[in-house]
C-alpha cells in the first residue's frame, strides 16, 4: 500500500475484464446446477474460445458421456444402474468444470500477458561530457592502433614465406599533467599535514 510500486522489470498485474469473469462463473456453475445435463455447453464454450482440437475432442467426449449416462438409467428409481448413472453424471460435471476453469483462466492469462519490459528506454542514453562535472581537456588525438589478432595471414603459394611479426605498438607520450591534477595534489598534501598535526599531541 505504501511501497514503491512495481519495479522497472515487473509490469503491473493485468486485471481480468469483468465480462470474462461473469461468463466464466456462469459456465462453471451451469453443469453443476443442471446435475451434469449441460456439461456439453461448458466444453462447447471452451472449444469455441480456445479453438484447440483437444478441446473439441473433450466437447465430444462430454456429450457422449452425458448421453451414455442417460441411456443407463432405468424406470426403477432404486436400481444400482440409476445410482451409477447419477454418480457418473456428477463426476462428469465436476471433472469438466475443473478442466474448463483451468483452461479458460490459462487461455485468458496468456492473451493478456504484457511485454517483458514495458518501461524499457526507447532512446539511446548519452553519457554526460566531461564526467564528474569537470570539463575534458582537449589533448592530442591518438591514432588507432592496429590489432594484431585481426590481421589475416599472408597467402602462401608454392614456397613457404617467412611471416613477419606484427609491428609492436609503441606507447604514446603523455601530454603534460593538467593544472587540476596539481591542485588536487596540493589539497591532498595539505590534508595529510593537518592529519599529522592532529595525531601528534
Convert the pLDDT of each residue in 57-104 to its tens digit.
999 999 999 999 888 887 777 888 888 888 889 998 999 899 988 988
- What cell numbers appear for 32 in the block? 453443476
Neighbours of 180 (CB within 10 A): 11
CA 30 – CA 40 distance, rounded (Å): 10
Can you tell me which residue has the cell 441411456? 71
Residue linked to cell 590534508? 191
Distance between CA atoms of residues 197 and 17, nearest Å? 73
pLDDT one-digit tens code per residue, 130-187: 555 555 566 666 677 777 676 565 555 555 555 666 667 666 667 776 778 888 889 9
Query: Packing angle between helix 18-33 and helix 80-111, nearest 10 degrees?
Result: 170
| Band of residue 18 on the pLDDT scale cut at 50, 70, 90 | confident
Confidence of residue 21 (pLDDT cuts 50, 70, 90): confident
User: pTM here?
Assistant: 0.47
Contact (Cβ atoms closer than 8 angstroms) between residue 69 and residue 88: yes
* Alpha-carbon separation of residue 53 from 24, 42, 181 (angstroms): 20, 16, 75
Calpha distance 147→121 (Å, rounded): 34
| Band of residue 197 on the pLDDT scale cut at 50, 70, 90 | confident
pLDDT for 17 beyond 70: yes
Residue 5 φ/ψ region, left for φ over 0, alpha for ψ in the -120 to 50 degree band, beta for the rest: left
Sign of the Cα torsion 23, 91, 98, 103 reads negative
Amino acid at each position: 500500500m505504501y511501497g514503491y510500486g512495481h519495479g522497472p522489470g515487473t509490469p503491473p498485474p493485468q486485471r481480468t475484464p469483468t465480462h470474462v469473469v461473469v461468463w466464466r462463473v456462469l459456465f462453471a456453475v451451469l453443469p453443476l446446477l443442471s446435475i451434469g445435463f449441460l456439461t456439453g455447453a461448458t466444453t462447447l464454450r471452451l472449444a469455441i474460445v480456445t479453438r484447440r482440437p483437444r478441446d473439441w475432442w473433450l466437447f465430444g467426449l462430454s456429450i457422449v458421456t452425458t448421453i451414455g449416462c442417460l441411456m443407463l438409467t432405468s424406470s426403477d428409481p432404486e436400481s444400482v444402474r440409476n445410482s451409477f448413472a447419477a454418480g457418473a453424471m456428477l463426476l462428469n460435471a465436476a471433472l469438466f468444470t475443473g478442466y474448463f476453469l483451468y483452461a479458460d483462466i490459462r487461455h485468458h492469462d496468456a492473451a493478456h500477458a504484457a511485454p517483458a519490459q514495458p518501461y524499457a528506454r526507447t532512446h539511446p542514453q548519452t553519457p554526460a561530457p566531461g564526467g564528474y562535472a569537470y570539463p575534458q581537456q582537449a589533448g592530442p588525438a591518438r591514432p588507432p592502433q592496429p590489432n594484431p589478432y585481426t590481421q589475416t595471414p599472408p597467402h602462401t603459394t608454392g614456397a613457404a614465406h617467412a611471416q613477419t611479426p606484427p609491428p609492436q605498438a609503441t606507447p604514446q607520450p603523455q601530454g603534460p599533467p593538467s593544472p587540476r591534477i596539481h591542485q588536487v595534489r596540493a589539497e591532498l598534501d595539505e590534508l595529510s599535514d593537518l592529519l599529522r598535526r592532529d595525531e601528534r599531541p
